[in-house]
Structure 1
Amino acid sequence: MNMQQAADRADGILDHLLAEIRPEVRWVHGPTTTGGCDVTRRRAVMTVVSAERRGNFLGLVERSWRASGYRFESVNNDPEAPAVFARTEDGFGVGLVVGGEGQVFFEVDSPCVEVSEVADPTSRATAALDAGAEGIPRPRVRSPFWSAGAP
């Protein structure tokens, strides 16, 4: 497997997970990074996930990962900034981190693979970034379910 194939596999992992989240959330691509022999794909959820719904969200992701055969490696139960890290059967690291204002970030890291060029992701983000935006802004999409109880 080369880095592009690993990036495609990481995108597939993220696509599958985000398709399973119901009600759906809106998301954008985060930066792709490459190391000496690995690649990381990221996505940021732009839907506000309220503190009251965070447990539901984390539980849904955990069930999806368990059903996919992922092995859990680390869990941070901090109520403000929880995080979960797991590994796929083929060695990809997957992570969910809740950041500021409850914004959810997903990351998939490949194992060491053959070095190659890596193209941008081809899947279409379901939220838009403002033209000229530097970085990913805080979540701003409201959901009747996921944002319930959020200011």
Structure 2
Amino acid sequence: MKRRFRIVAVTLAVGFALAGCGTVDGGAGGSAKASAGSSKEGSEETGKEASDMDMQEAADRSDSMLDAVLEQMDPEVQWAHGPTTKGGCDVTRRRTVMTIVSAERRQSFLDQVEKFWLESDYRIKARNKDEVFPAIYAQTKAGFGISVSFRGKGQAFFEADSPCVEESGVADSASEPNGPAYEGVYPLPRPNVRSDYWSGELS
């Protein structure tokens, strides 16, 4: 009788342990979905957890998120680095779009960005539907925030914010801008690159 009781207890313990493993990242199905993502950032959640990162690693993750969304813009837009800022336990990377995006093309620009973020399994937290200064705010499962917003003179800005991570130094981004770097220039110029598509009117 005692032997049978021990066997049952061990079986239950193993069952609970396996069940616990299945709930990590929203269950085994959720992990498979994350690893099966087709976009460059679709596997973002399968890397190191934010709780195990320092500010440099979080900044690198933010850079990869910004690289991915800018690389998928079609046609390509020219961009330059904005300032990197550190909070008490978080870090923000910024990119400034130097391509002129006409008022008529802003919604198309936002649509491309939102489609990519949804395909990357990001959650859209908010949309600002202002006609002059629209914006989209999204978040990854790891707690990184990312946004695109139109501001003065119709200039588009991307920002990626980390969750709270371990404090550390943060180096300049290693991502190369696809136009002038404007090193030491702040604030950056207003958009000054014309695009047949992005700078044009709706046909």
Give the TM-score of the pair, scaled to structure 1: 0.95
Query: CA-to-partner distance for each residue in 1:115-148, whole Å, 9 max, x for gaps?
Result: 1000000011112155763311110000011001
Letter of the 2:159 counterpart: E
2:175 paired with 1:117: no
Gaps of 5+ in 1: none
SS of structure 2 residue aligned to 1:120: coil
Give the drift of 1:97: 0.8
CA contact (8 A) 2:55 2:91 kept: yes
> Which residue among 18, 28, 32 is the counterpart of 2:80?
28
CA contact (8 A) 1:3 1:118 kept: yes
Gaps of 5+ in 2: 1-52
2:112 paired with 1:60: yes
**What is the alpha-carbon distance in structure 2 between the residues aligned to residue 4 and residue 130 of structure 1?**
23
> Which residue among 51, 57, 68 is the counterpart of 1:5?
57
SS of structure 1 residue aligned to 2:164: coil
CA contact (8 A) 1:129 1:136 kept: no
SS of structure 1 residue aligned to 2:58: helix
Q: Which moved more, 1:130-139 or 1:14-23?
A: 130-139
**What is the alpha-carbon distance in structure 1 between the residues aligned to residue 184 and residue 83 of structure 2?**
15
Letter of the 2:126 counterpart: S
Matches within 5 A, 1:2-151: 2-128=54-180, 133-149=185-201
**What is the alpha-carbon distance in structure 2 between the residues aligned to residue 86 and residue 130 of structure 1?**
28
CA contact (8 A) 1:38 1:110 kept: yes
**What is the alpha-carbon distance in structure 2 between the residues aligned to residue 87 and residue 112 of structure 1?**
14
CA contact (8 A) 1:73 1:86 kept: yes
Q: Which moved more, 1:82-91 or 1:40-49?
A: 82-91
**What is the alpha-carbon distance in structure 2 between the residues aligned to residue 19 and residue 9 of structure 1?**
15
Coordinate RMSD, CA, aligned: 1.4
**What is the alpha-carbon distance in structure 1 between the residues aligned to residue 151 and residue 93 of structure 2?**
17
Give the drift of 1:81: 0.2
Determine which structure has the larger helix proportion and give its number: 2
Query: CA-to-partner distance for each residue in 1:92-125, whole Å, 9 max, x for gaps?
Result: 0001110111100000000000110000000111
Determine which structure has the larger strand proportion and give its number: 1
Percent of counterpart pairs with the same letter? 54
Number of residue pairs aligned between Structure 1 and Structure 2? 150
Write out the 4+ residue segments of structure 1 that deviate beyond 4 Å after TM superposition.
129-132
